[in-house]
Amino acid sequence: MASHVLDFSTYYNIIDNKLTSTAITRHGINPANAQPNPEVPISTQADLDQAVEAAQKAFKIWSKTSFEERRAALHAYADAIEANAEKLAQILTMEQGKPLTQSSAEVGMAPGWIRGLSALEIPRNVIEETEEKTIIQRYTPIGVAAAIVPWNFPVLLAIGKIVSAVYTGNTVIVKPSPFTPYCGLKLVELATHSFPPGVVQCLSGDDTLGPMITEHPGIDKISFTGSILTGKRVMASCAKTLKRVTLELGGNDPAIICEDVDIDAVIPKVGILSYLCSAQICMMIKRLYVHEKIYDEFMEKLVAFVKTLKVGDGTGADIFFGPVQNKMQYEKAKELFGSITTENLKAALGGTIEDSTGYFIHPTIIDNPPEDSRVVHEEPFAPILPVLKWSDEEDVIDRANALETGLGSSVWCSDLDRASRIADQLQSGVVWVNSHFQVAPNAPFGGHKQSGMGVEWGLSGLLAYCNSQTQWLNKSP
């Protein structure tokens, strides 16, 4: 196990299980203090070509290994991540800004995802069995996959893609976000101890690398998580070579609070699930619809609860709100906060962004804004939460479903029949009753409408890394 403990001071690409660097390098920024993080490679077309060649070569052998062999390698990988979990969590806070408790939780989920996904059985379906013939449907690996990862959940999202790809017999090239390359590079450096050369590789780069990957004719499958705008570009690029593509995109999740809830029990849950990671999670509560009968009390208690959550450098004890991840996001948030004044909205908490060295934003709650205000129909990816009143069930369902996004949604209600009736009418890839943002390796997640194409995780997520093959086995020639 000792050999798997990594040095976290220098960062390399991982190509064919070798640590390589590039002539030109760059660095991310620690969002808590705007200081530069260590240098990382800027991969070129030649680096990508080399990685693709290694991945294609490795695929020939890896695709023929058994599920048991792959599972054993994945379990060793999970152990190696556990041995490095504390340091990985510190690096995650350094690069992403989220508080250490949340970084530790994200890193801590990774081994469970590895073991959980690799526990699923890929089926071999007998469709018809007669005296003359057998028809079966089986699943085969696609080839070389590329995992394009965003900056908000860089560990868990990378791990979900790596595991799904290699467990199903593919090889994979990981591309972390230029904003958060550090954990991605180290996760793949660790993978060199568990997988043969070329099976799991990682390239860090600037904004040119993503398009190079989606254009590359030697890559067969793209799993992309990121914004809707970029997702459309990825799909257009993949169309040229008809790459398989899975898109996990932005969301603007509604939560519907019914009048029969236990307000005191629900407030801390809803407060946390609206603001984790400074609200930079795709499946956070981003529109909170509260029944008018309890609206005033709910609002008062929500404001009181959110006020108790501390803002500061994520390395500090009991911090809940770290900085937002990057300057671009900070400036976007400032611009959106401007709409509080221009659209004449009422802030029940916060409402302004003070200048600071790091990218800190104090939580803001907007009191019953119009449905067409920007804070309601745009995905803020910053700690600003619109709380809206409702009275009629059909009307609130229509409002919840009104947007082009459909990632997650939730219903909070003591009457479970009523909750299910509402849940059944919500247009999103995941619906929770009395919770939000619950995830598990064996449960698929993905978006409806413009929140994505296909799903990841669960058996359906694994099958997205496979080709379907139907075999007709006729018994007499």
Find the binder of ligand NAD among 13, 230, 410, 450 (CB under 6 A): 230
Stretch that binds ligand NAD, among 29-37, 66-74, 228-236, 388-396 (CB under 6 A): 228-236
Find the binder of ligand NAD among 97, 452, 458, 461 (CB under 6 A): 452
Residue 456 DSSP code? B
Q: 282, 379, 456, 466: which is the annotated catalytic residue?
A: 282
Which is nearer to ligand NAD, 22 or 152 (by Cβ)? 152
| Minimum distance of ligand NAD from residue 171's CB (angstroms) | 19
Report helix, strand or coil for 274.
Answer: helix
| Minimum distance of ligand NAD from residue 269's CB (angstroms) | 21
| Minimum distance of ligand NAD from residue 333's CB (angstroms) | 13
Q: Does residue 211 belong to the site contacting ligand NAD (CB under 6 A)?
A: yes
- Of how many residues is the chain composed? 477
Report helix, strand or coil for 137.
Answer: strand
β-bridge partners, 468: 139
Please give the distance of CA 284 from its chain centroid, rounded to a whole number: 11
Q: Does residue 225 belong to the site contacting ligand NAD (CB under 6 A)?
A: yes
Site for ligand NAD in 164-183 (CB under 6 A): 175, 177-178
Q: Where are the beta strands (DSSP E) in 7-68?
A: 13-15, 18-20, 25-30, 35-41
| Minimum distance of ligand NAD from residue 194's CB (angstroms) | 24
Q: Does residue 249 belong to the site contacting ligand NAD (CB under 6 A)?
A: yes
| Minimum distance of ligand NAD from residue 161's CB (angstroms) | 11
Q: Does residue 41 belong to the site contacting ligand NAD (CB under 6 A)?
A: no
Residue 151 DSSP code? S
Which is nearer to ligand NAD, 94 or 249 (by Cβ)? 249
- Identify which of 157, 226, 195, 126 has the alpha carbon closest to the alpha carbon of residue 461: 157
| Minimum distance of ligand NAD from residue 293's CB (angstroms) | 32
Binding mask 124-163 for ligand NAD (x = CB under 6 A): ------------------------xxxxxx----------
Nearest-CB residue for ligand NAD: 210
Q: Does residue 409 belong to the site contacting ligand NAD (CB under 6 A)?
A: no
Q: Where are the beta strands (DSSP E) in 268-417?
A: 285-291, 310-311, 319-321, 347-349, 364-367, 384-390, 405-406, 408-412
Amino acid letter, 131: E
- Identify which of 133, 178, 154, 135 has the alpha carbon closest to the alpha carbon of residue 28: 178
Please provide the distance, in angstroms rounded to a whole number, between the alpha carbons at the two ends of the chain: 55
Q: Does residue 214 belong to the site contacting ligand NAD (CB under 6 A)?
A: yes
Which is nearer to ligand NAD, 289 or 437 (by Cβ)? 437
Is the Cβ–Cβ distance between 343 and 373 less than 8 Å?
Answer: yes
Which is nearer to ligand NAD, 43 or 118 (by Cβ)? 43
| Minimum distance of ligand NAD from residue 150's CB (angstroms) | 3
The contacts found for 334-339 with CB under 8 angstroms, 24 or more apart, are 336/374, 336/375, 336/378, 336/380, 336/382, 336/384, 337/364, 337/382, 337/384, 339/373, 339/374, 339/375
Report helix, strand or coil for 317.
Answer: coil
Which is nearer to ligand NAD, 70 or 220 (by Cβ)? 220
Burial of residue 434 (number of CB atoms within 10 Å: 0-12, 13-18, 19+): middle
Which is nearer to ligand NAD, 235 or 347 (by Cβ)? 235
Amino acid letter, 441: P
Helix axes 182-191 and 67-83, enclosed angle (nearest 10)? 130
| Minimum distance of ligand NAD from residue 455's CB (angstroms) | 10
Report how far residue 286's alpha carbon sits from residue 278's, in angstroms, rounded to the nearest whole number: 12
- Identify which of 222, 145, 157, 225 has the alpha carbon closest to the alpha carbon of residue 187: 157
Query: 277 catalytic, yes or no?
Result: no
Stretch that binds ligand NAD, among 91-99, 131-139, 206-214, 394-402 (CB under 6 A): 206-214
Which is nearer to ligand NAD, 211 or 316 (by Cβ)? 211
Q: Which two tokens stand for residue 150?
A: 């965003």
Which is nearer to ligand NAD, 73 or 403 (by Cβ)? 403
| Minimum distance of ligand NAD from residue 72's CB (angstroms) | 29
Site for ligand NAD in 360-389 (CB under 6 A): 379, 381
Q: 95, 189, 248, 379: which is the annotated catalytic residue?
A: 248
Query: 121 catalytic, yes or no?
Result: no
Site for ligand NAD in 67-126 (CB under 6 A): none
Positions annotated as catalytic residues are 248, 282
Q: Which parts of this chain interact with ligand NAD (CB under 6 A)?
A: 148-153, 175, 177-178, 210-211, 214, 225-227, 230, 233-234, 248-251, 282, 379, 381, 407, 447, 452
